[in-house]
Structure formats: structure tokens, C-alpha cells
């Protein structure tokens, strides 16, 4: 995907998040632009917010625990929309998890949001020091259901929520069962960056990511921290 194609996208909102290991200079950090195509609001529902959180499993933030109150809220509309979260880190060794909860309260603090439907994304090794990478995911629908078919391959329907007990319940492309919910898995070779032109694979023949190559230059690298 070209940088001009990214620029042409209408983004509903942009937010920034610093993960652990952040260092002082721009060249000492890695930036990942997580671009999420949010689903439309459920028909006939009251106002619904997508509450997006990003964290690292290495920091103890897997999908089976609460992630605290650090996140970004985007109101859903009748049509699909884009949201972008800029992730900055000084640690290039970590994977990154993202969870999107769909709540009546902007920060999912209402009592009724305790069992809010949730989308999950697990991104493998998306960070490279001095580089800017891009990950794009699309959420087909809010994962609530009346029948198993409503889950669209993201698990079975249980008490109005799409859940899973094993990977066999997650039949959508590139999904695995993570702590009771189907997560979209983004392999490291699908993380965009460090090469011009469009491609389906961002790894070289030897298996290394293009951002690992000596002399690789980032595309339009901009330090979000102003360094």
C-alpha cells in the first residue's frame, strides 16, 4: 500500500500512545501506525462507542486480564469509519495487542459495559527502531449475536456474545482463540513499511523483514514526539 493511499483515507480520529521502553530521540524509537476500520453502529441500538486499547503481552497485558483505563474512544456511526492510533516504543522486541470494546459509555465505565462485546488483534513484531510501520485491520461488525452465523467466523454465539473455546471455533482468516475470544493475527511479514510500492509480503526471501535490512529507510518517517 502506498503512502498516498494511506493519506487518502478519511480517518475518524487520530490518537497517540507511548508503550514501555520509550527513549528520548526520534531515531531511538519505533513508531507503528495502527489503522482500524471500525464497524457501523448496531442497528436500533443506543449510542455506541469503540474504546480502543493497545498494550504488549510482554508487559503482562494479554487478553485474559484487564488493561486499566488507558485508551481512546470513538463514537460509532451508521457507516464504517477509520481510526488511527500511533504507537511509539523504544523496545523493538515486543508483540502488540489491541482490543476494541463496544460500550454505551465512552470509556466502558457503565455497569452494563462489564460484558461488552470485544474485537481483538494480535500483531507480531511490528516495531523497528528508527522506522515507521503500518498495520491495517478491518472489523467487519460489532461481535454481538443471536445466532452463530452472526459471528462471521469469529466464534460461537453465547448469551449474545461471540466467544470461542479453541482455535477450531475461529474460522475467519488468520484468527486464533485468545482467552475466550477470536483474535485476528497479523503476522510480522504483513506489517507494512520500509519498501516502496504495494506488496502482500514485507519480508525478504531470507525471512527478514524489510525494516531489518541495513540501510533501509522509513517511508515519510515523522517523529510523533517532535524530536
Residue 42 lies in a domain: yes
pLDDT digits (tens, 9 = 90+) for 75-134: 999 999 998 888 888 888 999 999 999 999 999 988 788 888 999 999 999 999 888 899
Q: Do you know the residue count of the chain?
A: 227
Give the total number of structural domains in the chain: 1
Average pLDDT over residues 32-60: 88
HEC letters along the chain: CCHHHHHHCCEEEEEEEECCCCCCCHHHCEEEEEEEEECCCCCCCCCCEEEEEEECHHHCCCCCCCCCCCCEEEECCCCCEEEEEEEEECCCCCCEEEEEEEECCCCCCCHHHHHCCEEEEEECCCCCCCCEEEEEEECCCCCECCCHHHHCCECEEECCEEECCCHHHECCCCEEEECCEEEEEECHHHCECCCCCCCCCCECCCCCEHHHCCCCCCCCCCCCCCC
Q: What is the C-alpha to C-alpha distance for residues 217 and 202, in angstroms, rounded to an integer?
A: 14
At residue 45, the pLDDT reads 72
Range of the domain at 201: 3-143+188-212
Average pLDDT over residues 22-51: 81
Residue 45 lies in a domain: yes
At residue 67, the pLDDT reads 87
Average pLDDT over residues 173-196: 93
Residue 58 has pLDDT above 90, yes or no: no
Residue 14 has pLDDT above 70, yes or no: no
Residue 148 lies in a domain: no
Q: What Å distances lie between residue 182 and 52, 79, 157, 199, CA to CA?
A: 16, 24, 12, 27
Residue 40 lies in a domain: yes
Half-sphere exposure (Cβ direction) of 70: Cα atoms closer than 13 Å: 12
Residue 217 lies in a domain: no
Note the pTM of the prediction, 2 decimals. 0.84
Percentage of the chain beyond pLDDT 70 is 82
When mean pLDDT is compared over 11-20, 37-46, 168-177, the highest value belongs to 168-177
Residue 13 has pLDDT above 50, yes or no: no
Q: Which three cell numbers stand for residue 227?
A: 524530536
Residue 174 lies in a domain: no
Residue 6 has pLDDT above 70, yes or no: no
Q: Which three cell numbers stand for residue 58?
A: 510482554
Amino acid at each position: 500500500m502506498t503512502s498516498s493511499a494511506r493519506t487518502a483515507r478519511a480517518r475518524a480520529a487520530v490518537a497517540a500512545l507511548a508503550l514501555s521502553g520509550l527513549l528520548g530521540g526520534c531515531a531511538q524509537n519505533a513508531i507503528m501506525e495502527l489503522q482500524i476500520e471500525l464497524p457501523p453502529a448496531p442497528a436500533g441500538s443506543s449510542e455506541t462507542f469503540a474504546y480502543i486499547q493497545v498494550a504488549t503481552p510482554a508487559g503482562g497485558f494479554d487478553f485474559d486480564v484487564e488493561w486499566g483505563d488507558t485508551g481512546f474512544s470513538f463514537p460509532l456511526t451508521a457507516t464504517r469509519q477509520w481510526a488511527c492510533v500511533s504507537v511509539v516504543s523504544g523496545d523493538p522486541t515486543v508483540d502488540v495487542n489491541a482490543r476494541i470494546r463496544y460500550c454505551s459509555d465512552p470509556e466502558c465505565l457503565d455497569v452494563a459495559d462489564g460484558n461488552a462485546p470485544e474485537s481483538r488483534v494480535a500483531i507480531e513484531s511490528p516495531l523497528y527502531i528508527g522506522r515507521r510501520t503500518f498495520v491495517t485491520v478491518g472489523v467487519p461488525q460489532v461481535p454481538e449475536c443471536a445466532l452463530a452465523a452472526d459471528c462471521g467466523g469469529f466464534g460461537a454465539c453465547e448469551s449474545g456474545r461471540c466467544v470461542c473455546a479453541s482455535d477450531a471455533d475461529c474460522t475467519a482468516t488468520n484468527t486464533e482463540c485468545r482467552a475466550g475470544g477470536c483474535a485476528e493475527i497479523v503476522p510480522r511479514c504483513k506489517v507494512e513499511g520500509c519498501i516502496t510500492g504495494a506488496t502482500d509480503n514485507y519480508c525478504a526471501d531470507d525471512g527478514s523483514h524489510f525494516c531489518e535490512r541495513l540501510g533501509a529507510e522509513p517511508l515519510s518517517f515523522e517523529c510523533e514526539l517532535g524530536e
